[in-house]
Structure 1
Amino acid sequence: MLAGRLRAPTGRYGGKSAQERQAERHGRFLDAALQLFGDSPGYRSTTVAALSEAAGLSTRQFYEEFRTLEDVLAALHLQVNAWAEEAVLTASAATQGSPIDERATAIFRAYAGNVTADPRRIRITFVEIVGVSPRMEEQRLTRRARWVDLICAEAHAAAERGEAARRDYRLAATAFIGSVNGLIHDWSAGWVPATLDEVVDELVRQLLGILRPTGWRSGER
């Protein structure tokens, strides 16, 4: 065998490097997965051949990027969450120094607006990933824990400013994230007769109720 025969190509082709072409293929598979997994026929009814065809690529190219369709679902789930997290962090930065009720409204409006902008993202996040495998359950719960950490960080910062009670917020934040996911999913499915703004307002009221329990007074530390 010739030395170096199995090395990945590093030259440029069509003005793009090997790394750029690989990233483009990866993105095309994820775009196709968003359509097939997030709409029809869904993750469980999609084949490697169908996904490759939708991406305009070959099955050989699929196996150069992924081992299984579950790997694609995992990558897509992380990508959808990353989009939402970016929107949340942008809103958080834009409202730095604002009262907690204004920050909470901006943050949840950013999250809800990003997730619901494309119904396929909701299906990936709240439907298709559920019950796939122990690996996917671990990823789903790990990713949810990041949202819990974000809520806890906001709550503790508000407590330091005297805008919220001092307490351990992890249990409450975990319960609250469950409410967020459930309400947004049910709203997107048409089961909740409300506008998205009304959904956001309800979530903010719930969060403020957690931060400011009965008997708490503003400015207490």
Structure 2
Amino acid sequence: MAGRITPAAGRYGGRPAAERRAERRERFLAAGLELFGAGPGYRATKVTDLSRAAGLSTRQFYEEFQTLEDVLAALHLRVNDAAEGTVLAALPGAADLDPVDRCAHLFRAYARGATGDPRHTRIAFVEIIGVSPRLDRQRLERRSRWISFLCGELDAAAARGEIAARDFRVTAAAFIGSVNGLMHDWSVGWVDATLDEVIEELLQMLLGRLQAPPLDGPS
């Protein structure tokens, strides 16, 4: 009979159960992106709000997620993956650039990926902050990935003889920390500047450090 589940095939209305679950999950994530990133925010959203926005029931929510925090965690990974994908796509175009132009090219690509959708910006730099130890670990793990990526790019430039070799980890950590801090403050309205001004300020911080002579160590 049409509309009945066939246990052996796991189908309902001709659609596999896995396909229906994936669609429901995407509807919850789309609703979370809107409510957390553009609406009242994560802390002001309840499961009933999210379910209503997704056009689904709370029962269906708990079939896909245990808590609202799970939705925020999934969205945080997704928006970071989007920014990372933009940077990786920009790598071939930076292959023949000098280190300064290469860093500028890649950081502008990152900025496009991280800020092209304002909802992504808010989730990545604001909503994720201080939610729980679990999400703090996830956020710091993703920050560590960006630090390692930047160190890898600078180490490769040093290996090619384009810049002086040194330990770039402090520079990379300071820069990525500045990106997160300034983007947070800009997103919540504590910094009166355009997005382009914020991006250029961050870029000049990085390029200024790369172009500065190495600091003398202790004698």
For the superposition of Structure 1 and Structure 2, which TM-score range results when normalised by the shorter chain? Answer: 0.7 to 0.9
Distance 1:134 1:156, change over 3 A: same
Distance apart, 1:110 and its partner CA:
1.5
Residues 116-150 of structure 1: per-residue CA shift (max 9 Å, x gap): 22222122111111111111111111111111111
Say which SS state the counterpart of residue 40 (structure 2) adopts.
coil
Asked if the contact 1:116/1:188 (under 8 Å) is kept, the reply is no
1:1-221 map, 5 Å: 10-11=10-11, 13-14=13-14, 16-214=15-213
Distance (whole Å) between structure 2 residues aligned to residue 19 and residue 197 of structure 1 = 43
Cα displacement string for residues 60-98 of structure 1 (whole angstroms, at most 9, x for unaligned residues): 111111011111111111111111111111112332232
Deviation at 1:18, TM superposition (A): 2.3
Cα displacement string for residues 156-197 of structure 1 (whole angstroms, at most 9, x for unaligned residues)? 111112222211111221111011122333344455454444
C-alpha spacing 1:9/1:123, structure 2 compared with 1 (3 Å): farther
Structure 1 counterpart of 2:10, one-letter code: T
Separation in structure 1 between the aligned mates of residue 196 and residue 10 of structure 2, nearest angstrom: 50
Structure 1 length-normalised TM: 0.85
Matched residue, 1:219 = none
Pick closer, same or farther for the CA change 1:130–1:200 going to 2, 3 Å: closer
For structure 1, the residue ranges without an aligned partner over 5 or more in a row are 217-221
How many pairs align? 210
**CA 1:213–1:192 in 2, change beyond 3 Å: closer, same or farther?**
same
| Aligned-partner SS, 2:74 | helix
Matching residue's letter, 2:122: R
Q: What is the percentage of aligned positions where both structures have the same residue?
A: 59
- Is the partner of 2:91 in helix, strand or coil? helix
d(CA) in 2 for partners of 1:51 and 1:44? 12
* Alpha-carbon distance change, 10 to 98 in structure 1, aligned in 2, over 3 angstroms: farther
Deviation of 1:103 after TM superposition, in Å, equals: 1.8
CA distance in 2, matches of 1:208, 1:116: 21
Q: Give unpaired runs (5+ residues) of structure 2.
A: none
CA contact (8 A) 1:29 1:55 kept: yes
Moved over 6 A (4+): none
- TM-score normalised by length of structure 2: 0.85
In 2, Cα distance between equivalents of 1:48 and 1:27 = 15
Q: Is contact 1:165-1:213 (8 Å) kept?
A: no
Contact kept in structure 1, 2:126 and 2:187, CA below 8 Å: no
Deviation at 1:204, TM superposition (A): 2.8
Secondary structure of residue in 2 paired with 1:141: helix
